[in-house]
Amino acid sequence: MHQKFSRLILRGLINEERLSEMMRTAADTGEYPEELLIRSGVPKHEVLFSISEYYGVAYAEFDESLPVSYLVTMKLDMEHLKRMLWLPLSVGKDRAEVLAAAPGSSSVANDIRQTLQISRIDYIVALPADLVRIIEHNFDVNHLFPRSAGRTPLAKVRTFLADRRSLMACVRTSLAKGRTGLAFLRTGISFIAISVVLFRVFGPGLLTVPEALLLIAGIIMTVDGLIWYVPARKQAGTALDCTTTGATWGSTVLTVANPGDSPFFVRTGPVGEAAELRAGWSDLSPVARRRFLASDRTDFAEERTVLACYRTKMARARTGLAFTRTGVAFAGLGIALMRQFPSGPWSIFDYSLVAVGVLMALEGFYWYLPGRRAGKEGHESVRQTHHRKTIWDFAFPPIVDQPSPGQLCPPPVRPSHAPGVWATTGMALERTVLADRRNVMARLRTVMARSRTGLSFIRTGMSISAVGMGLLAYFGLVHTPWAVFNTLLVAAGLVLIADGLYWHLPAEKIKQQYPYCFGEMEMTVPDYGRPVRTWKKAVFSHDIDE
């Protein structure tokens, strides 16, 4: 090992005693001796000259433009290459040009031959740290990041998240269809109840035919409503997990586990130096920026998925409360018929209405508490976003955060950076900004879903109160137990109305603070091959028919 750095001793850059001490430190700590030498003040190029002279091969440093064939690396294991410290630059029929930190190692040579199935190796030496960065760069991850931080794995995670959002959109559509079915069901049973009451009051006669037609129509609508509702009820039973792993602006990486029918998402631990790397945004290369932006878009996609989950749970609650309103109406009608008419053969119909109504009310309230929790958590999630950083804080820090106006400067474009590289980075930034806008609209939809759910609480409370008040007004206070029952119905309805207002009013206040509610939305269409002043704008108006 000393011979590897003998050139440094000959040039007086370090003495033999100090070099021996560094070798022992490297052996004890597992650090690379080259890195220890550079940190001690030995110039990097002198270390490169020394190892190049020792191995008798050319050397290479980390450079983003270093050509490595994608077709060669796509089938290789990045973690294995980082452990063995070698990377093929090109592979021919029986030979390969390989970057290696230890070209003289027989284990490295054997590993290269077995992996690439070649016999001749043309080496280029590189410092271990540089070689690790070159490997990570060509596998599309920033320095020290795991392979899951590459843009392709992150795109895979976003695809799974999009699939989950599509599934929840399907559930919400099914629930909306179920609510429409409940409207059919309410109408159908109302027709049946009206026809039966008319027959019980007037008996057989001229109205028998219209009553029969009304009864048949009611039965058809009831059956049709059940056909719509039952599939929605099955969909509502699907378990939904709305927990979030928590966005970290690239210091951790979101990954998908168990990719199949039941994928779930986990986040890696903090990546070393990632926060410091992100903080120095203006000093990052275009490629490094694109990788952080890909991670940001993945985090945005997770937030949209979590918000979609909250909206789906609230849609369940609205469907359940629609069922409750239907049940309360039927139970109230059955109770009125029981008290109005004497016992007889028709009493079975009255009891059936009450029993069905009670079952429907209990079924609806089964979804009330989960929906209420989802509304509370969704509201809290939206409220917390006001205190979080945005993509603008990283890409274009506000003036107040700058130490002096002189530091406000354009991105650090160097002569070596081709225009196409910055165009690609600009488009990645534009996609990330658009993702941020989609999240703003997703938060708005969540707030409006909470508002609609609050209105559903109010409608349900009004229905319950109306039934109680109607029974009180018609039958009075003659029978104390019934009077108490009717009063409790009124009180329960008022509680639900108050709860609905508690949900609806704050949601309306938040909605007014968000854009995209009224007017037109204007969006710049970037063309990175032309000056910014020539970019066109697209205007999206809510008055335009799609």
Q: Is the pLDDT of residue 367 over 70?
A: yes
Cβ-proximal residues to 459 (8 Å cutoff; 6+ apart), any chain:
321, 325, 500
Contact 165, 303 (CB under 8 A): no
Q: What is the pLDDT of residues 219-276, one digit of tens each?
A: 898 888 888 888 877 766 667 778 888 888 888 989 888 776 677 888 988 888 888 8
- Tokens coding 50: 């020394």
How many CB atoms are closer than 10 A to CB 66?
A: 16
Mean pLDDT of 299-322: 87
What confidence score (pLDDT) does residue 518 get? 44
Alpha-carbon distance values, 35 to 1, 25, 126, 146 (Å) = 14, 11, 12, 21
- Mean pLDDT across 424-441: 81
H or E segment and range at residue 171: helix 151-202
Residue 118 confidence (pLDDT) above 70: yes
- Assign 340 to helix, strand or coil: helix
Going by pLDDT thresholds of 50, 70 and 90, the confidence category of residue 400 is very low
pLDDT at residue number 279: 81
> CA–CA separation, 172 vs 314, rounded Å?
9
What is the pLDDT, as a whole number, of residue 536?
74
Helices 208-236 and 286-340: crossing angle in degrees, nearest 10, is 150
Per-residue b or e along 138-161, where b marks 16 or more CB atoms closer than 10 Å to that residue's CB: bbbbbbebbbbbbbebbebbbebb
What SS3 class is residue 271? Answer: coil
Helix, strand or coil, per DSSP, at residue 87: strand
Q: What does pLDDT average to over the chain?
A: 80
Q: Is the pLDDT of residue 193 over 90?
A: no
Q: Which residue has the higher pLDDT, 100 or 326?
A: 100
What integer is the mean pLDDT of 359-386?
77
Of 343-357, 399-413, 414-428, give the lowest mean pLDDT range.
399-413
Residue with tokens 């806008």: 437
Position 133 pLDDT exceeds 70 = yes
* 240 or 397, which is more confident: 240
**Sequence-separated (6 or more) residues with CB below 8 Å from residue 352:** 334
Read off the pLDDT of each residue in 98-107 and give the average, rounded to a whole number. 90
Q: Is the pLDDT of residue 530 over 80?
A: no
**pTM, whole model, 2 decimals?**
0.71
Which residues in 175-200 are b (16+ Cβ under 10 Å) and which e?
A: bebbbebbbbbbbbbbbbbebbbbbb
Query: Cα separation of 327 and 67, whole Å?
Result: 71
Instruction: Give the 3-state DSSP-derived string for 425-469, with helices as H, strands as E and coil as C.
Output: HHHHHHHHHHHHHHHHHHHHHHHHHHHHHHHHHHHHHHHHHHHHH
The DSSP result for 474-505, as a single string, is: HHTTSSHHHHHHHHHHHHHHHHHHHHHHHHHH
pLDDT confidence of 127, banded at 50, 70, 90?
very high
Name residue 100's beta-bridge partners.
Answer: 86, 125
| pLDDT of the residue at 538 | 66
Report residue 147's pLDDT band, with 50, 70 and 90 as the boundaries.
Answer: confident
Tell me: pLDDT of 397 over 70.
no
Q: For residues 12 and 544, which has the higher predicted lDDT (pLDDT)? A: 12
- Answer yes or no: are the C-beta atoms of 19 and 2 closer than 8 Å: yes
Contact 89, 60 (CB under 8 A): no
**Among 66-80, 306-320, 327-341, 380-394, where is mean pLDDT lowest?**
380-394
| % of the chain with per-residue pLDDT over 90 | 10
Domains of the chain: 3-142 (3.30.300.160), 151-389+402-541 (no CATH)
Q: How far apart are CA 115 and CA 109, in angstroms?
A: 10
* Predicted local distance difference test score (pLDDT) of residue 328: 83
Residue 419 predicted with pLDDT over 60: no
Q: Specify the pLDDT at position 401.
A: 52
Q: Is 296 left (phi over 0), alpha (psi -120 to 50) or beta?
A: alpha
| pLDDT higher than 70, residue 522 | no
Q: What is the pLDDT of residue 412?
A: 47
3-state secondary structure of 86: strand
**Mean pLDDT of all residues in 18-34:** 87
> Out of 17-21, 414-418, 425-429, 475-479, which region has the weakest mean confidence (pLDDT)?
414-418
Instruction: Count each helix (H run) and each strand (E run) in the chain, helices first.
Output: 17, 7
Confidence of residue 534 (pLDDT cuts 50, 70, 90): confident
Token pair in block for residue 106: 């027989």
Q: Cα(301)–Cα(237) distance, rounded to whole angstroms?
A: 25
Q: What gap in Å lies between CA 164 and CA 153, rounded to an integer?
A: 17
Please tell me the predicted confidence (pLDDT) of residue 546.
Answer: 35
Rounded to the nearest 10 degrees, the angle between the axes of helix 151-202 and helix 347-365 is: 160
Q: What is the pLDDT of residue 19?
A: 86
Q: Range with the lowest mean pLDDT among 58-62, 168-172, 285-289?
A: 285-289
Contacts (Cβ under 8 Å, ≥6 apart) of 322: 179, 182, 183, 364, 456
pLDDT tens per residue across span 379-389:
777 777 767 77
The pLDDT of residue 405 is above 50: no
What is the residue type of 400? V
